Amino acid sequence: MADSNASSGSPEETANPSSDGNAPSESDLALDTLARKVQESLTLGKRHKFWETQPVGQFKDIGDTSLPEGPIEPPTPLSEVKQEPYNLPNLYEWVTCNINSDEMCTEVYNLLTNNYVEDDENMFRFNYSKEFLRWALHPPGYFKSWHIGVRVKSSKKLVAFITGIPARIRVHNEIVMMAEINFLCVHKKLRSKRLAPVMIKEVTRRVHLENIWQAAYTAGVVLPTPISTCQYWHRSLNPKKLIDVGFSRLGARMTMSRTIKLYKLPESTVTPGFRKMELHDVPAVTRLIRNYLSQFAVAPDFDENDVEHWLLPKEDVVDSYLVESPETHEITDFCSFYTLPSSILGNQNYSTLKAAYSYYNVSTKTPLLQLMNDALIVAKRKDYDVFNALDVMHNESFLKELKFGPGDGKLHYYLYNYRIRQTLKAAELGLVLL
C-alpha cells in the first residue's frame, strides 16, 4: 500500500496572510508554526482514533517486552464473522471489481491514475498500468471478493477502491497466512466523507470470511505502529529529464554536462552468463530465493507457483535477470525490478516518468554491487528515467556506491493483528510490497 494513506487523508491548509499586508513578524511566524503543530496533532489524533480500535501494535506498548509475539486477538468462529457488508453513506454502494473485465479494469485504472498517491509537492502521481494491476491482483489463490470498489448509486461512477491478496509471510519462525492490503484510494472530492475506515473494515471482514486473520500493508504516513521504516533511494538514469521535470535538482557547482557524465553507464552488462529469466528457470530461482530470504525476520514464503507469477518477466511490468555459470550452468545470482511509471503533473514537455523499482535480488557468486550495476545498465537500455530502491535486505550495501541518492519518501511497514516485540531495521526486512 505504498503511501496509500497519503492518498486518503486530507492535508490541512494553513495559510497565514498577515493582517496588515506587511511581511509577518518573527512572533507571527512562531505563532503560525505553533498553530500548525496543534492542527497537525489534532488531525493525527483523529486519524488514529480508528487505529486505536484495531488489533495493531499501539504506541503506548512500544518497548513492553512482556507482551507476547504473535496474534494480538484470536480468530473469531467463522459463524460469528459479520455476513453482510458494512453500511456506506446513502448515496454509495459496494461493487466487487473484476479486474479481468476490460471495462472494469479501465475504471479502476482511471480512478487510480487521477486520485492515487502523489508526492508532497503534487508534481508526480503513481500511474500503474492495467497489465500491472492484473499482475498485482491475480497471484495464485487470489479472491475476487477482495477487490472492492465503491460506486455512486445514481451515476455508477467508481469513486473508491481497496484490495487484498493472499500471501504466506514468515515472521521469524512462524509462517502466517496473511492478506496484503493495497491500492486504498478515495476520489479527491470525497476525502472528507470518512470512506477509508469503512473500506478498511470491509476488506478486513472479507479477509476474515476466508479464515485469514492477519494482514501486511505499507503507508507513507505514521500510523500505530510500524514494524519497520524504510527509506527510498533514487538512481538517475536520465538526469537531464529528471532535472527538467523537477524530480531532481542540479547539484551545487555542477553543470548539466558534468551531471550527465556522472550518471553515465556502460553500454553492456559485464557479468558472464547474465541473461533474462525463462520459465524453465523457475525451480532454480525458487531455491535461490527461498534460501536467501530465510535470513530475514519478515519475508514472503515463496513456492514455485509464486515465483512463476511474481518473477517471470512480463513486458513493462516485471523484469528478471539471472546469472547462469558458463562452466557449471548453475543459476548463482538473480535480480529483478518492476515498472511503475508516474504521471508528471503540469509539465509542458513530459507527461510520464518511467521508473524501475528494485524487487528481489540474490547474490551468491556475483558481487551484489556488480549485479545491480548490470540491472541499472539493462534498465537504462530500456529507457527508464530512474531506478528506485528501498534500503531493505542487503540493498544498503550498493546504494551509495552506485550513485543512488536518498529520497524524501519514507515507507512504513505494518502488520495487522500480529505483534512483533522489537522494531526491525530495514535490513532485517525481506519483503517488498508493490
Burial status of residue 295 (CB atoms within 10 A of its CB: 0-12, 13-18, 19 or more): exposed
Buried b (16+ CB within 10 A) or exposed e, 409-431: bbbbbbbbbbbbbeebebbbbbb
Helix 304-311, helix 282-293: angle, nearest 10: 100
Residue 252's contacts (CB-CB under 8 Å, 6 or more residues apart) are none
Active-site residue flag, 340: no
199/8 Cα distance (integer angstroms)? 11
Catalytically annotated residue among 137, 390, 411, 434: 434
244/259 Cα distance (integer angstroms)? 13
Residues 2 and 433 sit within 8 Å (Cβ to Cβ): yes
Three cell numbers, residue 10:
486530507
Residue 69's contacts (CB-CB under 8 Å, 6 or more residues apart) are 172, 419, 420, 421
Give all strands (DSSP E) within 31-108, no chain letters.
92-96
From the DSSP assignment, how many helices (H) and strands (E) are in the chain?
A: 10, 17
Residues in the chain: 434
25/245 Cα distance (integer angstroms)? 34
Helix (H) / strand (E) element for 257: namely helix 256-262
Helix (H) / strand (E) element for 113: namely helix 102-115
Closest Cα partner for 351 from 422, 245, 203, 200?
Answer: 245
Positions marked active-site: 434
